[in-house]
Amino acid sequence: MSDFIFAAQQGRKIPKEDKNFAVNNRAKAMIAEKGKDAVVNATIGVLLDEEGKFVVLSSVNEVFKTLEAGEFAEYAPIGGIPGYKAAVLKDTFGSYEPKRHTVAVATPGGTGAIHSTIANYSEPGDKVLLTDWYWGPYGTIAGEIGRSLHTFKLVNEQGRFNTEDFEKQVMALLEVQDRLVIILNTPAHNPTGYSLTVDEWEEVASVLDRVPEEKKVTLLVDVAYLDFAGEAEEYRAFLPVLDSMGENILPVIAYSFSKSFTLYGMRCGAMICMAETEEIADEFRKVCEYSARAAWSNCTRAPQVMLSKIYENPDLLARIQEERAGFRDMLLRRGKAFEAAAKEAGLEIVPFDAGFFASVPCENPDAVGAELEKEGIFTIPLTMGVRISIASITEADCRRLPARILAAIEKVNK
């Protein structure tokens, strides 16, 4: 029996209300009732400054204002304008020159890249492998096209990447599937702030070296938070590891304009393959463009022209990098403050490196979230704990929150 009136059910269960929006609405209602100072809204997934204002890089805004009608009104080619595709590669790889065959295809945000990778590199009914702490929309994206998720444990008892469970789950899925899409969201993982070190990347590579050669693995690296994780080159140091993988492993990087250029609403991203052969790279271009035509046709032209212009002008690029570094450092200070305060309070958090979010493992996350709301602290309850957006709260609140979260956990789970 369908619970839809007119629409096709297609096996979907759509919740009555989006949980995250509901928490956010309650936060807004409390602000209206009790005032801004009575509320800490740690639910928002965008960067706010210390005054609570939405951060837009002014240097990027300046470029936007130089656009002429023809530059944004015209259709873009399906795979993206040539200048954009070249700039995306430079922006992603930095000073590193990949040895493999790279092809970039424009997508509407990182979300489009995730959708297209799953759609083109897995079969209906397949399971997609990812960490047990994960960004909810991965499940929605996979489910909409008849795939489901399978998880491995992100960290082991020592608080390091759980290579053992990763290997176990990769091999178990490859017993029953000929191909496998794996999603690794790093650095500055949403929702935990975890980043794989280069050593951990080497471990991932050595597991994938043991994949039987008749099986095909697509390794989707979601780098949505790359430019807010820390020093640009340091956080790109894992890229050579992707180059070293076997022919039956296809790394695909999901690139997003949303955070790096503070242009979330522009819906601009790209999927970049690092293919061992030219044939695999050509096929990547062909299938991704074909499926783009069927889903969103071409992507928004304005941000593509903007990135092309930014990469044609070294002074402008340097200005953007400098301005971004200022906000990145503000975010890193908040992360460090939260981590230090958690340690001091004796609050266990998922090992945190950097990024927009941190997570606290706990029993009964919904009840813990509700308890915190009573005190005006709004978080996102997940399956295994609560997520705190450090991107949207002040450094002072990052210092205050851990003790209060611990108290709420103790109260709920006593």
Residues in contact with ligand PLP by the rule CB under 6 A? 45, 109-111, 135, 185, 190, 222, 224, 256, 258, 264, 269
CB of 282 to ligand PLP, least distance (A): 26
* Strand (E) or helix (H) holding 235: none
CA–CA gap between residue 205 and residue 53 (Å, rounded) = 41
Comparing CB distances to ligand PLP, the nearer of 133 and 211 is: 133
CA–CA gap between residue 121 and residue 252 (Å, rounded) = 10
- Six-digit token string for 310: 């930014």
CB of 297 to ligand PLP, least distance (A): 17
CB of 186 to ligand PLP, least distance (A): 10
Comparing CB distances to ligand PLP, the nearer of 238 and 408 is: 238
- Six-digit token string for 71: 């530059």
CB of 367 to ligand PLP, least distance (A): 25
Comparing CB distances to ligand PLP, the nearer of 135 and 311 is: 135
Contacts of 396 (CB under 8 A, 6+ apart): none
CA–CA gap between residue 334 and residue 414 (Å, rounded) = 30
CB of 182 to ligand PLP, least distance (A): 14
CB of 190 to ligand PLP, least distance (A): 4
CB of 386 to ligand PLP, least distance (A): 16
Q: What is the CA radius of gyration of the chain?
A: 21
Q: Phi/psi of residue 218, each to 5°?
A: -105, 120
CA–CA gap between residue 352 and residue 371 (Å, rounded) = 24
The residue whose Cβ lies closest to ligand PLP is: 109
Comparing CB distances to ligand PLP, the nearer of 80 and 269 is: 269
Q: Which residues pair with 253 in a beta bridge?
A: 221, 272
The DSSP symbol for 78 reads T
Closest C-alpha to 116, from 272, 346, 224, 347: 272
Comparing CB distances to ligand PLP, the nearer of 244 and 291 is: 291
Comparing CB distances to ligand PLP, the nearer of 264 and 296 is: 264
CB of 354 to ligand PLP, least distance (A): 14
- Six-digit token string for 404: 């209060």
Write the DSSP string, 386-412: EEEEGGGS-HHHHHHHHHHHHHHHHHH
Comparing CB distances to ligand PLP, the nearer of 201 and 257 is: 257
CA–CA gap between residue 321 and residue 227 (Å, rounded) = 9
CA–CA gap between residue 219 and residue 40 (Å, rounded) = 37
Write the DSSP string, 173-229: HHHH-SEEEEEEE-SS-TTT-----HHHHHHHHHHHHTS-TTSEEEEEEE-TTGGGS
Contact predicate 161/205, CB 8 Å = no
CB of 193 to ligand PLP, least distance (A): 11
Comparing CB distances to ligand PLP, the nearer of 113 and 208 is: 113
Comparing CB distances to ligand PLP, the nearer of 251 and 269 is: 269
